[in-house]
Chains A and B, each alone.
Chain A
Amino acid sequence: MTRILYVDDEPDIREIAEMALALDPDFEVRTAESAKEALAIAAQWQPEIALLDVMMPEIDGPSLLRMMRERPDLAEIPVAFVTARAQPSELQNFATLDAVGVIAKPFDPMTLASRVRALLG
Chain B
Amino acid sequence: MDAIRRDLAALDAIERARLAEITARTEGIRGNVEFLVSMLIAGLALLLAGVAIVVGRTTRQRQEALARAEELNARQQALFDGAVDGMLLLDEAGHICKLNPSIVRMFGYDEDELLTRHNTFLMAEPSDLEVSRDWLSRVGAAGLQGAGRRHEFTGRRKDGSTFDTEVAVSRVADERERRYVAAIRDISDYKRAEAMKSEFVSTVSHELRTPLTSIGGSLGLLAGGAVGELNEKAARLIDIAHKNCERLVRLINDILDIEKISSGKMHFAQDEVALEELIRRTIAANAVFAAAQGVSLVAKGTARRVEVLGDADRLEQVLTNLVSNAIKHSRHDGTVEVVLKQSGSLAKIEVRDRGEGIPQEFRQRIFGKFAMADGSDNRTRGGTGLGLSIAREIAQHHGGTVSYDDRPGGGTVFWLELPAISELVQRSNAATDLPRILHVDDDRDCLSVMASAFEDRAAIVSLSAMEDARSVIEQEHFAGAIIDVGMRDEDGTSLLPAIRRRNPGLPVLLFSARDEKHLSAAADAVLIKSRSDLDEVVETMMGLLADRGAQA
Binding site for B on A (CB under 8 A): 10, 12-13, 16-17, 19-20, 23, 55, 84-85, 87-90, 92-93, 105-110
Q: Is the CB of B216 within 8 A of A106?
A: yes
User: Quick one: closest A residue to B267, CB to CB?
Assistant: A93
Question: CB of B317 within 8 A of chain A?
Answer: yes
User: Quick one: closest A residue to B226, CB to CB?
Assistant: A23
User: Quick one: closest B residue to A89, CB to CB?
Assistant: B313
Q: How far is the CB of B89 from the nearest CB of chain A, in Å?
A: 47
User: Quick one: closest B residue to A84, CB to CB?
Assistant: B209
Given contacts A20-B221, A110-B226, is CB(A13)–CB(B253) below 8 Å? no
Of B214, B221, B249, B267, which contacts A13 at CB under 8 A?
B214
**In terms of DSSP, what is the predominant structure of the interface of chain B?**
helix
A93–B267 CA distance with the chains assembled, in angstroms: 9
| A-B Cβ contacts below 8 A, count | 66
A91–B239 CA distance with the chains assembled, in angstroms: 28
Question: CB of B345 within 8 A of chain A?
Answer: no
User: Quick one: closest A residue to B202, CB to CB?
Assistant: A85
Of A19, A23, A87, A107, which contacts B213 at CB under 8 A?
A107
Q: List 10 A-B contacts (CB under 8 A).
A: A10-B214, A12-B211, A16-B213, A19-B221, A87-B256, A105-B209, A105-B212, A106-B213, A109-B221, A110-B221
Given contacts A13-B214, A108-B220, A109-B226, is CB(A85)–CB(B253) below 8 Å? no
Interface string of B184-216 (1 = CB under 8 A from A): 000000000000000000100010011111101
Q: Is the CB of B317 within 8 A of A106?
A: no
Of A84, A85, A107, which contacts B217 at CB under 8 A?
A107
Task: Report A-chain residues with C-beta under 8 Å of the C-beta of B221.
Answer: 16, 19-20, 109-110
Q: Is the CB of A90 within 8 A of B267?
A: yes
A12–B406 CA distance with the chains assembled, in angstroms: 49
Question: CB of B218 within 8 A of chain A?
Answer: yes
Q: Is the CB of A84 within 8 A of B224?
A: no
Question: CB of B337 within 8 A of chain A?
Answer: no
Question: CB of B257 within 8 A of chain A?
Answer: yes
Which of A17, A89, A110 has the most chain B CB within a 10 Å cutoff? A89
A63–B140 CA distance with the chains assembled, in angstroms: 53
With A106-B209, A106-B213 known, 9 other A-B pairs at CB within 8 A are A12-B214, A16-B218, A20-B220, A84-B206, A84-B209, A89-B257, A92-B313, A105-B212, A108-B220
Q: Is the CB of B253 within 8 A of A87?
A: yes
A13–B211 CA distance with the chains assembled, in angstroms: 8
Q: Is the CB of B217 within 8 A of A109?
A: yes
Q: Is the CB of B313 within 8 A of A13?
A: no
A104–B501 CA distance with the chains assembled, in angstroms: 58
Task: Report B-chain residues with C-beta under 8 Å of the C-beta of A88.
Answer: 253
A87–B201 CA distance with the chains assembled, in angstroms: 13
Of A16, A23, A85, A107, which contacts B206 at CB under 8 A?
A85
Of A87, A108, A109, which contacts B257 at CB under 8 A?
A87
A27–B489 CA distance with the chains assembled, in angstroms: 67
A55–B211 CA distance with the chains assembled, in angstroms: 14
User: Quick one: closest B residue to A11, CB to CB?
Assistant: B214
A68–B167 CA distance with the chains assembled, in angstroms: 50
Task: Report B-chain residues with C-beta under 8 Å of the C-beta of A93.
Answer: 267
Task: Report A-chain residues with C-beta under 8 Å of the C-beta of B220.
Answer: 20, 108-110
User: Quick one: closest B residue to A54, CB to CB?
Assistant: B206
User: Quick one: closest A residue to B248, CB to CB?
Assistant: A106
Question: CB of B369 within 8 A of chain A?
Answer: no
Q: Is the CB of B214 within 8 A of A16?
A: yes
Q: Is the CB of B317 within 8 A of A89?
A: yes
Task: Report A-chain residues with C-beta under 8 Å of the C-beta of B314.
Answer: 89
Task: Report A-chain residues with C-beta under 8 Å of the C-beta of B245.
Answer: 106
A85–B260 CA distance with the chains assembled, in angstroms: 13
Task: Report A-chain residues with C-beta under 8 Å of the C-beta of B253.
Answer: 87-88
Q: How far is the CB of A17 from the nearest CB of chain B, in Å?
A: 7
Task: Report B-chain residues with C-beta under 8 Å of the C-beta of A87.
Answer: 253, 256-257, 260
Task: Report B-chain residues with C-beta under 8 Å of the C-beta of A105.
Answer: 209-210, 212-213
A89–B214 CA distance with the chains assembled, in angstroms: 21
